[in-house]
Amino acid sequence: MAGKRDYYEVLGVSKSATDDELKKAYRKMAKKYHPDANLDNKEEAEKKFKEVNEAYETLSDPQKRRMYDQFGPDGPQGFGRRSRSFWRRIFIYDFRI
């Protein structure tokens, strides 16, 4: 997904943000974009809310954050996900040889 925004930008923090700063920014953004708090534009709010959750889930985990900082959103840790059928084909092919 090449159109993903930078997770630090999504949460409005710097790349050197501490865990406490991440949590504070996450809570602020989650409250701002919670679908129940945006009844007039629920679909857009839900989309942004999911983006905020994904950003926090990645940046709050030290290992995921290191991988994200090193490789970006399309890194090898599942940020650029492949379909199950893709991996099934790879797995089956590898064992047929």
* pLDDT for the residue 5: 85
Looking at the chain, the whole-number percentage of residues with pLDDT higher than 70 is 73
Q: What is the pTM of this model?
A: 0.72
Give the pLDDT band of residue 97 (cuts 50, 70, 90): very low
pLDDT digit string (tens) for 2-42? Answer: 567 899 999 999 999 999 999 999 999 999 999 888 889 88
Per-residue three-class SS string for 32-58: HHCHHHCHHHHHHHHHHHHHHHHHHHH
Q: Are 60 and 27 in contact (CB under 8 A)?
A: no
Looking at the chain, the whole-number percentage of residues with pLDDT higher than 90 is 54
Give CA–CA dist 97/83, Å, rounded.
22
What's the chain's length in residues?
A: 97
